[in-house]
Amino acid sequence: MRKIIHIDMDAFFASIEQRDRPELRGRPVVVGGSPERRGVVSTCSYEARVFGLHSAMPMKTALRLCPQAVLLDVDMKKYRRESAKIREIFHRYTDLVEPVSIDEAYLDVTENRFRESSATKLARAIQREIFAATGLTASAGVSYNKFLAKIASDARKPAGLTVIPPEKALAYLDTLPVGKFHGIGRVSAAKLTGMNIRTGHELRQLDAVTLKALFGKTGLFYYNIVRGIDNRPVEVKEEPKSVGHEITLAEDCTNMRALRIMMRQLSHRVAHRLQAKNLAGKTVTVKVRYENFETVTRSFSAPAPVCDGMEIGEIALALAAKTEWATRPIRLLGVTVGNFVDPGADPGFEQLLLPFA
């Protein structure tokens, strides 16, 4: 049985700023883009979250909810430097480290450098080392798989440590609201709540056939996680060559307004993924599949790297205009950004990023 630790830094960007600027401690701090440029919240301090602020919220909304918030620009160079220190600490314990984003990672400590049998002791040690090296707090979750470790790290923020052993997993999940299940999004959670399914216990009463009928393949994922089943290994991943998203339409579409909206939505999803991974690329590619399954792609390489959803969307629409999407029924659309630029090699890279952490 695996021993997995999930480490999640607490309000990472905002905590770094409060550490470096003592006058901001105890105040609502919001790190993100300018409200005049349709900026969004990247991270906000726990003092700001009391007012309902959260990551990815439009900055205008955030400032309306909390006018006294201190708004700070993103300083990616500084945040990446702190992230690198934290990852060095992870690798002192195990080679099996899977970064999820700049501020969180899974660690498989089943076998570890200290030959320590207690993952709980290792998690506490990692938290102490992070604080000693950076002055920042991290929350930790310990369990026998990635899903439960992630659930556990969210349970007692900030600076918490939660352990879910195998014999207590079902009891823990039974009382957990479905909206707290990592992997069940807001739309699915609302659908379940509308069926009077509000907790893990109630969700577990639905069989696999019913869940698949309601949610497709994702329903089988729900069937497993509500039973504490997650066989995904902690993977040491290579740097991605590209980041993309595509959608297969339920019915072939010829409505150009709807297709343009979908293309923009895809572009924003790709942008969110890029920003979460602190990436920007010069090449945008669109994929268009017609009703007869014929698939075409069109690409454009920009002079500067892109990671903004609106900019990616404009390029994607221009590329789509070079296909036959205006004259033929469409069954699939996709947007991909690749040809990533090394942040250290591009002096303008810092201004491009509005990451979510």
The answer for residues whose C-beta is within 8 angstroms of residue 149's C-beta and 6 or more apart is 4, 5, 6, 106, 141, 142, 143, 164
DSSP result, 111-178: S-TT--S-HHHHHHHHHHHHHHHHS--EEEEEESSHHHHHHHHTTTTTT-EEE--GGGHHHHHHTSBG
Residue with tokens 């993952």, as numbered in its chain: 119
Query: DSSP alpha helices (H): ranges in 226-305?
Result: 256-276
The catalytically annotated residue of 47, 82, 98, 104 is 104
Which three-class secondary structure state does DSSP give residue 233? coil
Query: DSSP alpha helices (H): ranges in the chain?
Result: 12-20, 46-49, 59-65, 76-93, 119-134, 146-153, 169-174, 186-194, 200-203, 208-215, 217-225, 256-276, 309-320, 349-352
The answer for residues whose C-beta is within 8 angstroms of residue 291's C-beta and 6 or more apart is 252, 328, 329, 330, 331
Joined together, the tokens standing for residue 192 give 């379940």
Name the residue type at position 133: A
Which three-class secondary structure state does DSSP give residue 335? strand
Binning the chain into helix, strand and coil, the percentages to the nearest 5 are: 40, 25, 35
For residues 154 and 36, what is the distance between their CA atoms, to the nearest angstrom? 33
The answer for residues whose C-beta is within 8 angstroms of residue 230's C-beta and 6 or more apart is 145, 146, 147, 148, 224
For residues 180 and 200, what is the distance between their CA atoms, to the nearest angstrom? 9
Joined together, the tokens standing for residue 208 give 């696999």
For residues 329 and 309, what is the distance between their CA atoms, to the nearest angstrom? 25
Nearest Cα to Cα of residue 99 among 136, 146, 45: 146
CA 6 to chain centre: 14
Q: Is 104 a catalytic residue?
A: yes
Residues labelled catalytic: 104
